[in-house]
């Protein structure tokens, strides 16, 4: 279950689960800090994310930090990461969460993990690379009808000189081909030049 806890006068989300390295614990709950996780930043910025008991496809799992929080809430989390060093840590994190399934693969080629990933309620993506929209589009078939997509856009991944707002719009446009785009939420002040596009299948 997700809770909200007060830390230094701010309200942050928190989850119940085995503690990982150097995170804060308040009242027995793991503080999900909006500066350490874009999903937490989105939650603090009032993005509704029905993670509880959901089946989640998580693209760009990194070292497993955010996936660990998601796995505290969800029924099943499929976390895809393609860089060996963070993936190594993600596998260790997955060992502490029995519904976190680590997948060492390139999210640009979802056919590789198609025999393992089931229908999901939520597609969450934080890959911070060129062609971010394309990755989400390729993985859209895993999402059930009415399922939700959260696509983190890093403006500078696409083009260092472009205006962030223009980049967000471009990504949202492309997502519009396969999703119903709901809105784009800027993640400042927690992350500069980052936004999350919220969409529905």
Q: Tell whether residue 128 is a contact of ligand SAM (CB under 6 A).
A: yes
φ, ψ for residue 33, nearest 5 deg = -80, 130
* 3-class SS of residue 88: helix
Q: Are strands 3-7 and 29-31 parallel, antiparallel or unpaired?
A: unpaired
Torsion angle of the four alpha carbons 55, 59, 194, 41, in this order, in degrees rounded to the nearest 10: 40
* Chain residues 15-44 in contact with ligand SAM, contact rule CB under 6 A: 37-38
Given ligand SAM, another protein, none, residue 47, with its beta carbon under 5 to 8 Å by kind, binds none
Q: What residues have CB less than 8 Å from 141, skipping those under 6 apart?
A: 110
Given another protein, ligand SAM, none, residue 120, with its beta carbon under 5 to 8 Å by kind, binds another protein
Q: Which residues pair with 12 in a beta bridge?
A: 5
Least Å from the CB of residue 169 to ligand SAM: 21
CB-nearer residue toward another protein: 3 or 108:
108
- Cα separation of 58 and 188, whole Å? 22
Least Å from the CB of residue 11 to another protein: 25
Q: Tell whether residue 147 is a contact of ligand SAM (CB under 6 A).
A: no
* Chain residues 63-82 in contact with ligand SAM, contact rule CB under 6 A: 65-66, 80-82
How crowded is residue 117: how many other Cβ atoms within 10 Å of its Cβ? 18
CB-nearer residue toward ligand SAM: 17 or 86:
86
Q: Give the start-end residues of each E strand in 72-111.
A: 76-81, 100-104
Given ligand SAM, another protein, none, residue 111, with its beta carbon under 5 to 8 Å by kind, binds another protein
Least Å from the CB of residue 33 to another protein: 15
Torsion angle of the four alpha carbons 126, 71, 95, 141, in this order, in degrees rounded to the nearest 10: -60
Task: Take residue 126 and report the two structure tokens written for it.
Answer: 């934080």
Least Å from the CB of residue 127 to ligand SAM: 4
Residues at the contact surface with ligand SAM, assessed by CB under 6 A: 37-38, 60, 62, 65-66, 80-83, 86, 106-108, 126-129, 135
């Amino acid at each position: 279950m997700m809770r909200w806890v007060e830390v230094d006068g701010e309200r942050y989300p928190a989850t119940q689960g085995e503690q990982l390295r150097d995170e804060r614990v308040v009242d027995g709950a793991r503080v999900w800090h909006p500066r350490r996780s874009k999903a937490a930043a989105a939650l603090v910025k009032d993005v509704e994310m029905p993670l509880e008991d959901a089946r989640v496809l998580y693209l760009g799992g990194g070292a497993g930090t955010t996936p660990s929080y998601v796995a505290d809430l969800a029924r099943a989390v499929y976390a895809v990461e393609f860089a060996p060093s963070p993936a190594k840590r993600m596998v260790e994190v997955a060992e502490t969460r029995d519904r976190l399934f680590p997948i060492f693969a390139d999210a640009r080629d979802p056919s590789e993990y198609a025999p393992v990933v089931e229908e999901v309620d939520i597609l969450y993506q934080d890959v911070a690379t060129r062609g971010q929209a394309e990755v989400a589009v390729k993985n859209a078939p895993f999402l059930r009808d009415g399922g939700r997509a959260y696509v983190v856009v890093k403006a500078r991944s696409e083009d260092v000189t472009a205006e962030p707002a223009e980049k967000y719009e471009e990504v949202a446009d492309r997502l519009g081909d396969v999703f119903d785009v709901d809105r784009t939420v800027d993640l400042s002040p927690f992350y500069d030049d980052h936004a999350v596009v919220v969409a529905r299948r």
